[in-house]
Amino acid sequence: MSELKSVIEGVNKYQIPDHLIDSIVEYVFNGRPVGGFLESIFSNDLMQAYGRGDSFSLRGIPEIVKWLYNTAPRGCWGSEENYKSWIADGGLKGLTE
């Protein structure tokens, strides 16, 4: 199974709001920066995420956090430094090339 397919299947196992899925997949696979709400989530700053998210995104926080903990590559989340490094490395694609 390709790594991209694996990322997509992993995200789809959780009830993450549809409008966030493409951004999450692009960030994880290609290291593409995401908007402020998801950046806060990936940086492990849930207080800031609550301040940045719209009502639809906020309802998805528990599912996003479950996905991060159970499925997401460890290096792509957990701190602001991890978030920035993941982007600089080009995500999974950049790390495996």
3-state helix/strand/coil string of 33-75: CCCHHHHHHHCCCHHHHHHHCCHHHHHCHHHHHHHHHHCCCHH
3-state secondary structure of 84: helix
Please state, for a pLDDT cut of 70, what percent of the chain lies above it. Answer: 99
* pLDDT tens, residue by residue, 27-65: 999 999 999 999 999 999 999 999 999 999 999 999 999
Q: Which pTM does this prediction carry?
A: 0.90
Residue that the structure tokens 């460890």 belong to: 74
Domain ranges of the chain: 3-89
Q: Of 84, 97, 95, which Cα lies nearest the Cα of 34?
A: 84
